[in-house]
Structure formats: structure tokens, C-alpha cells
Amino acid sequence: MEKQPFERPFIKKLHSGMPGKFGMKMDFDPITEIDGINVKDLIGEYGSPVFILSEKTIRKTLNTAKRAFTTRYPKVRFSWSYKTNYLDAVCNIYHQEGSWAEVVSGFEYDKALSNGVDGKYIIFNGPDKSAEYLEKAIQKNSLIHIDHFDEMYMLNELSDKLNKKPKVAIRVNMDTGIYPKWDRFGFNYENGEAWDAINRIMIGKKLDLVGLHTHIGTFLLAANPYKIAAGKLADLAVNIENKYNHNIKYIDMGGGFASRNTLKGAFLPGTDTVPDFDDYAEAITSGLINSQIKPDNLPLLILETGRALIDDAGYLLGTVLANKRLADGRRSTILDIGINLLFTSFWYEHIITPAQPFSHHTEETAIYGPLCMNIDVLRENVDFPLLKKNDHVVIKRIGAYNMTQWLQFITLRPRIVLIDEKGKSHLIRKNETLEVFKSLEKTPEYLNNFKL
Ligand SMILES: *Cc1c(COP(=O)(O)O)cnc(C)c1O
């Protein structure tokens, strides 16, 4: 073993990171490899920073989630939430595992089609569906989840124009005991609006009401709201059956399961506190099977789980640019990873782990990104070991939303790499270059010349 450098012992007062019930929680081991590939080698080959995705973790997590539901309910289908991570390679892993596509824009709709998803397996959500895309979705027999009455009337018109009966569901929002309530999407349950929408569809006879949909929120730290929500959608299905003798084919419970990240201000780490797939599955299926829906009519259960399926599969690798002292004497470490690449640092206490063995002397540290912006803070104040310039770090559990909500700001976006199940790496998105931007811009002729 290599001789470790001597470090002078010292006594220090702890200021940050209050101990929880289980003492100080900190990952004390470096992350030196991901799925068998050395972190240094990954950075050597693909540069720093770089996003890494683990195919093994993606498939394993989906199968854990599937098992939780299929062992409790007869008919289950996952539908991949494109906005959570719409890299083609990622979407196709989910499609290979049998997941449909859940999209919320024309761009995402086209992406699913271009990945080879049959239109009838595309669920079209969201408040922004243009007439053009609704027409496309009708022609391709997609499942259109109506968000508001204006959309319903547009669909009625298109149904006449195309002489086709679009397959629709309505999105329902409701009180499930969680606050703030998400009532801006879909039709409200408690005030009767959802039932009103259903009656208009059934009496209008222009649309084929095949499903009921809800998406009650995101990062829900309790499972019980799902039981309430499933019960309310089941009641609507029963009322439709009773009044119209019409069978609802599926109930779509949306997404919203928490990943194992720790929210800012949380007392205990997310790994110890968030419900697991079994908890959510128990809640949802008990809401459905204990309803008045006749056993022969049990609808297909669709889940649009996003972040809980992919967060753990994503890593962001970076490098220390510098260390410096702040005016108050605190240490700060500057990384080449900014909030432009890590959008979720606004609400998660991301775990930043050194990628090489490190001293166990820690200090209160502010961890900054490279942007010339005061808001570029990855961690305000964290008990962190002393890393040197050019040391590497791994930020884990970042697979959800960062690769879609990232911002092109000040720096160019880096490469994204997938490690396959055999431990081989594949570039799945190239890094941006100046040429990419030049190719989109147009400068009027008279602005092409200047003299300084
Ligand atoms: C974003 C979204 C999802 C995925 O949500 P997660 O919280 O990531 O699980 C599912 N359905 C709809 C309609 C969405 O907008």
C-alpha cells in the first residue's frame, strides 16, 4: 500500500450538517468507478464534466418497480415520461422493457415517433397541444389526455373534420391531502368539473373516453395520497359504468414517486425516508381493488413514473478548478460543474463524493460551479474533505430532469455517456460546440464587419 501523507491532527467545532437520529450522515468512501469503469478513465476519454448513465441501474430499477405492481394487480403498464430524460438511448431502453411513451409537447411527440413508438402507445399529456399535433395524434390513434375544455372543444371539431372518434382520457385533479394542491392541470374532482367533462364527452359522442388520468404532484413523500387518488378515479369509472354502461379501459395514475435524493431542509436523508415502490404500489392497488369496480372490469393500470425510475442511474463527473477562502474564513471549492448542468441543485442537497481516496479531515465548505454568477452554488455549506485542484468528484443520483432542464448558459453542454450492461461505454450525446450555435444564428450582412 502506498504511504499516506502525514496530516497534522486538529480539533474543530462543528457548525453545519446537524446530526440526525443516526449520527452524522456522510458518505466516507470515494466513488472510484461506475459499473466497473474507472472514473478517471471516463473523464480521460470523454472530458470533464461528463454525464454518465448506467443501463444496468435503469433496467434494474424499472424491473423493481414493475414487480411491485404486477405482484399486486393483474394489468399494469409503465409509460416513460419523456420530459424526465428524453435522450433517445434512454427512451429506447424503456421501450425495450415494454414501456409506452408519455409526452407533453409536439417536440416530445415527434421524438417518440422517431424512436419508432407506434402512435397508439403514445400518451399525449399537457396543456399545450396544438391543433396540428392533436390532428396528428388522432390520425395515429394516440391516447389524448384532455387538460381543459378548450382542448375538448378543439377535439370535437377535429373529430368532425377527420370523421374519426379520438381516443381520449381526461386528466383529473383532486384533493388528496397534499399541499400545495396541483389544481392547474386537468379538471377538478371535488367541484364537479371532472364529472361535467365526462358527461359532455359521453353525451357529445364525438370522443371515445377510454381512460381516466391524474398526476397528483411530484416527489411525494407519502404513499397514501395515491390511495385516495386511485379511489376517486375508480369512483368516476363506476359512475360512468352506471350512467352510460360504458367501460373505462385504463386508469393512469401519473408519476410523482420520490427518488432517494434529499430535499433541501430535510432532517433525514432521502435514502432513509422516502417510500419505496412497494409502498406506492400497495396504496394505488388498494385504492383500485377496494373500489366498487366489478372484478371483470378492472381497468389497465398505467404508471407514468419519471424521476424515481432514473435518478439513481445518472452521475455527473467533474473536476476541482480551485480552492479559496471566503471573506468569513470559510473554505470554498470551485468545480467545473455549474447549476446550468445541475438544475436539481435548486431543491436537492446533492451528494458530492470525491473520486479518489481523500483525507477524513473535513471542513465547512461552500461548493461553487464555474459560472460567473452569484447563484451558481451547488452546496451552500457542507462538511467536505479538502480536495486539490484537478481532483475529481462524482455527483450521484442526478438522472432525472438534469439532462432535459439543463441550460446552455456561459458554457457549452458536455457529453453524455451510457455504460451498457457488459460494462462498455457508449457516447449517446455529443458535446455542444461553437459550430452548433453558429449554425443556428444568422447575422445580418451589415453587421459582419467592424474595426476596433
Ligand atoms: C412530469 C410528469 C410525469 C413524471 O413525473 P415524475 O414526478 O418525474 O414521476 C408523469 N406524468 C405527467 C403528466 C407529468 O407531467
Is the Cα torsion angle 176, 179, 184, 190 positive or negative in sign? positive
Average pLDDT on 124-148 reads 98
The span from the CA of 369 to the CA of 375, in Å, is 9
Q: Of 241, 272, 304, which residue is a domain's last?
A: 304
Query: With 80 as the cut, is the pLDDT of residue 21 above it?
Result: no
pLDDT confidence band for 22 (50 / 70 / 90) = very low
What are 427's strand-pairing partners? 417
13 belongs to a structural domain: no
Quick check: is 170 in a domain?
yes
Estimate to the nearest angstrom the gap between the alpha carbon of 326 and the chain centroid. Answer: 35
In the DSSP assignment, the letter for residue 299 is P
99, part of any domain: no
Distance CA 439, CA 356 (A): 40
- Helical pair 224-244 and 193-204, crossing angle rounded to 10 deg: 40
Question: Is any atom of ligand 1 closer than 6 Å to the C-beta of 214?
Answer: no
Which among 298, 196, 308, 333 is positioned nearest to 254, based on CA atoms? 308
Q: Determine the distance separating the centroid of ligand 1 and the alpha carbon of 217, expressed in angstroms.
A: 8
* pLDDT at residue 11 is higher than 90: no
**pLDDT(435) > 50:** yes
* Band of pLDDT at residue 4, cut at 50, 70 and 90: confident
**Which of ligand 1's atoms lies nearest the C-alpha of 257?**
9
CB-ligand 1 contact for 213 (6 Å cutoff): no
Residues 173 and 209 in one domain: yes
Residues 41 and 169 in one domain: no
- The greatest distance separating any two alpha carbons of the chain, rounded to the nearest whole angstrom, comes to 81
- The predicted model gives 282-305 an average pLDDT of 97
Kindly give, in sequence order, each residue whose CB lies less than 8 Å from that of residue 137, ignoring residues fewer than 6 positions away.
109, 119, 122, 124, 129, 144, 166
Is the domain of 294 the same as that of 352? Answer: no
373 lies in some domain: yes
pLDDT digits (tens, 9 = 90+) for 234-269: 999 999 999 999 999 999 999 999 999 999 888 888
* Residue 23 pLDDT > 80: no
| C-beta of 344 in contact with ligand 1 (< 6 A) | no
DSSP for 340-371, written as a single string: TT-GGGGTB---EEESS---S-EEEEEEE-SS
84 lines ligand 1 (CB under 6 A): yes
Mean pLDDT, range 9-32, rounded to an integer:
64
Is 395 a residue whose pLDDT tops 70?
A: yes
Distance (angstroms) between ligand 1 centre and the Cα of 72 equals 22
Q: Are residues 297 and 319 in the same domain?
A: no
Give mean pLDDT, residues 311-318. 98
pLDDT at 407: 94
For the chain, the first-to-last Cα distance in angstroms comes to 60
* 73 inside domain: no
Q: Using CA atoms of 103, 105, 106, 110 in order, give the dihedral in degrees to the nearest 10.
A: -30
Q: Are residues 225 and 321 in the same domain?
A: no
- Name the closest-CA residue to atom 8, ligand 1: 306
By the 10 Å C-beta count (0-12 exposed, 13-18 middle, 19+ buried), 19 is classed as: exposed
Q: Which of 304, 337, 362 is the last residue of a domain?
A: 304
Print the domain residue range for 350: 33-52+312-437
- Give domain status of residue 298, yes or no: yes
269: in domain: yes
Q: What is the mean pLDDT of residues 406-410?
A: 94
Domain membership of residue 380 (yes or no) is: yes
Q: Which atom of ligand 1 is nearest to the CA of 171?
A: 13
User: Is the Cβ atom of 256 under 6 angstroms away from ligand 1?
Assistant: yes
Confidence of residue 18 (pLDDT cuts 50, 70, 90): low
- Asked if 292 and 384 sit in the same domain, the reply is no
CA dihedral 119, 132, 197, 83 (to 10 degrees): 60
- 316, β-bridge pairs: 51, 395
CATH number at residue 415: 2.40.37.10
Determine if ligand 1 sits within 6 Å of the CB of residue 216.
no
Q: At 397, is the pLDDT very low, low, confident or very high (cuts 50, 70, 90)?
A: very high
278 and 419 inside one domain: no
Residue among 78, 79, 129, 215 to mutate when testing ligand 1 (max atoms within 8 A of CB): 215
In this structure, are 294 and 240 located in the same domain? yes
Which pLDDT score is estimated for 8?
77
CA of 309 to the centre of ligand 1 (A): 11
Query: Are 292 and 151 within one domain?
Result: yes
Classified as helix, coil or strand, 20 is strand
Look over the chain and give the mean of its residue pLDDT values, rounded to a whole number.
Answer: 94
User: Are both 265 and 365 inside the same structural domain?
Assistant: no
Asked whether residue 284 falls in the same domain as residue 367, the answer is no
Residue 1 has pLDDT above 70, yes or no: no
Total domains in the chain come to: 2
Count Cα atoms within 13 angstroms, Cβ side, for 442.
1
pLDDT computed for residue 17 by the predictor: 52
Q: What is the pLDDT of residues 361-374, one digit of tens each?
A: 889 999 999 999 99
Instruction: Enter the C-alpha cell of residue 272.
Output: 432513509
Residue 18 or residue 161, greater confidence = 161
